[in-house]
Chain A
Amino acid sequence: MAHTAHDTDTHHGHDHAAHPTEKQYWMVFVLLVALTAVEVAWSFLGAEGPALVIPLLVMMTVKFFLVAGAFMHLYFDLKILNGRLFTWAFFGAILLAGAVYAAVIASFRFNI
């Protein structure tokens, strides 16, 4: 049971996409910065109510998945054994948390 030094790929399982290249990481970063810039600009453009909030939330969500998927390697980790189980559990949990807190806020804000 010798432990050998490992190259980049073997510690990610048999069937997975390769690690992103450095160039791809930079591209994700540029995308993140661009999205942030658009977000800030949008907030100053003078839209109000849902027209202001929804695009902001959409951009926020895209940034979230970019960081989680690329930087946190989740996109590639999902291709592992039992990946589907893991995916379901992960996104199920996020959805659950979001739904619970949204319900709490809703019951306050809208007095339903």
Chain B
Amino acid sequence: MAIIDKPPALPAGEPRRAARPLGVFTRPKEQAGISAWLTTVDHKKIGIMYGSAALFFLLIGGVAALLIRIQLATPNNTFLSGDAYNRMYTMHGTVMVFLVVMPIGAAFANFLMPLQVGARDVAFPRINAFSFWVFFFGGLMLNTSWFLGGGADGGWFNYAPNNGVAFSPSHGIDFWNVGLMIAGIGSLTGSINLITTVLNMRAPGMTLMKMPVFTWMTLVTQFLLLFAIPVITVAQLLLTFDRRFGANFFNVQQGADPLLWQHLFWVFGHPEVYLMILPAFGIVSEIIPTFARKPIFGYPFMVFSGIAIGFMGWGVWAHHMFVSGLGPLSVTAFSVATMFIAVPTGVKILNWMATLWGGKLILNTPMLFAIGLITQFTVGGLSGVSHALAPSDTQQTDTYYIVAHFHYVLFGGAFFGFVGGVYHWFPKAFGYMLNDTFGKVQFWTMVLGFNLTFGPMHILGLQGMPRRMQTYDDAMGFNFWNLAATIGAFILGVGVLMLLANVAYSYSKWKAAGRPNPGPDPWDARTIEWSIASPAPAHNFDVDPVVTSLDDFWHRKYQEDENGVVRRVHTGAEIAQPGNPEGVHLPAPSYWPIVLAFGIPIIGYGVIFNLWLCLPGALVVIGALFGWALEPADDLDAPGHDHGQDGPGHDGSGDHHEPELETV
């Protein structure tokens, strides 16, 4: 109820006609082409960039995976040396976790969260752009380690004391540290942005319990990010100080306990895995009701189980450390806590199944991928419960049984969900549909390849095949299933590439057909992002949607008649907002986010190689911060700025939005 009415809190926001002494301080004007993408602050474009960057890193991580599988296809193979193998699985894991799955989650979150709450953009658009660029440059920097430092080789979790200079003298681990810290800045600033947007910028009438499940799941994810990233940042800082400046945090000779690294890492690491899966859970919670033609079963339970996972995820980290020498009380406590945390996830699975039950199922590509997530995640969840029992985990840990578990939940779960999400929201983002038949072929290819790769790993693990071993002996009995897994991996690779192929194929068919527009609501969906044109116009909503219930858009289309029968009263296209940008004020694009993001890795290289290099990096950073603060808050000539804005009361801030609200 408080009235917030004040000019922006930052020095930017000078009166519009302030002098612009240097040309570089004007806001960029480009509307199209690569400059537009480099300077955009539009959350939808930023979401697309996150997704594209994730795809790029997916190819890198995927190639690493295939190289690993080639090495393991036959016993006593010499395709990769021990060192190269260490680098392969380290970079595969690191790239996939930090540079693929997390950014895909960020892509969906950035694209959808403002749309689903009825906002024009996020709370801080320039910071949003900065979050993307700093993630991207950090990820690139991490991958320059292949050429410059030998590639990180300590495993994606990088345990002490192996991660110290004594045992890992090359720069690979320094790149792991610094590159991930830089990318982590992006996650942190992004999370602050999205939480503020969802908590503070919802459309009129949208209470928290009327938000879509996807928005809730990603909100919990952002909170997890907000609190987990500082912990790994501290761990990485401590390690960097040890390696570069001679500190003793993990120096066993001085009495340090290397277990500190494990604790700090896994306090981050466990919330990390929940923040990888929750967005996919959210996606599935949108797809299934849409194509089962029923509302999600048990909406409050879905919301509260997501929140419960967010809280409980902080209390189970040491289940990654059962064999590290923890005392029996710790092990027991964490074992019990881990068993409990299966409950909220189980609630979700049951709710999805109850949503499917009795629905008029449309088994198109998004739906198939969503069902794929449910089944495969359940398999991974079941093996996870077996890990929760500390005695059995003592057998399973560091074997391929664990590898099977996390690939089932992360790939069979999260990644399948993400692909389903791509198919589902593709028309909203790009204005054309992906071919459904092609998608179904892709789905089954991926199912075959995925299960052929990771299913046998359960067997291999229980037979005793250890993780992170460069090769295995002929006489161990692992040959057959390893070969099967390698074949499966290549089939899976084809399946993943089919997504790119489908994009290209669908695009060319769409062009040939004269670029027909799929309309605002091709799936007859439930949430308000489908009430605007496809592709989503730059300004999102012409007028603020007024929300009176959960699935508000659906209830405007389908209502009960006098006999209590639900009938359609409108199609989506009839009641969608036409996409008229008249009278809308959008934030202007800006150079400074990418410039600031560019300066930070320079400091990073300085920390690794030569401290003098930090100086130019710091200068770029400080310059960019001043440019950011001092640039004109709004540029009359900037694109997206409509002429009706010169009236009194517009403070002209580039970072605030003033929706012209009219009653619908």
Contacts and interface: CB of A to CB of B under 8 A. Distances in A.
Asked if chains A and B are in direct contact (CB within 8 A), the reply is yes
A112 B327 contact: yes
A10 B3 contact: yes
B4 A11 contact: yes
Given A14-B1, A96-B227, A96-B314, A6 B327 contact: no
B263 A107 contact: yes
B257 interface: yes
A83 to B, nearest CB: 10
A3 B7 contact: yes
Interface stretch (B38-46, B184-192, B647-655): B647-655
B329 interface: yes
A3 B15 CA distance: 13
B590 to A, nearest CB: 24
Interface residues of B, number: 30
B330 interface: yes
Contacts of A16: 2
Interface string A19-44: 00000000000000000000000000
B2 A14 contact: yes
B649 A1 contact: yes
A81 B2 contact: yes
B1 A81 contact: yes
B650 A1 contact: yes
Contact of A107 (B2, B208, B327): B327
Nearest to B651: A3
Interface residues of A, number: 27
Nearest to A104: B263
A14 to B, nearest CB: 5
Nearest to B327: A112
Contact of A3 (B6, B227, B260): B6
Contacts of A81: 1-2
B357 interface: no
B656 to A, nearest CB: 11
Given A93-B227, A108-B257, A108-B259, A3 B649 contact: yes
Contacts of A99: 314-315
A42 B125 CA distance: 51
B340 interface: no
A74 to B, nearest CB: 15
Contact of A80 (B2, B259, B327, B649): B2
Contacts of A13: 1-3
A108 B262 CA distance: 12
Contact of A12 (B2, B267, B330, B658): B2
A59 interface: no
Given A97-B227, A108-B259, A6 B326 contact: no
A88 to B, nearest CB: 11
A99 B647 CA distance: 53
B311 interface: yes
B5 interface: yes
A13 B329 CA distance: 49
B1 A15 contact: yes
A111 B327 contact: yes
Nearest to B3: A10
Contact of A104 (B4, B267, B649): B267
12 contacts: A1-B647, A1-B648, A11-B2, A13-B2, A92-B311, A99-B315, A100-B267, A108-B257, A108-B259, A108-B263, A112-B326, A112-B329
Interface of A: 1-3, 6, 10-16, 80-81, 85, 92-93, 96-97, 99-100, 103-104, 107-108, 110-112
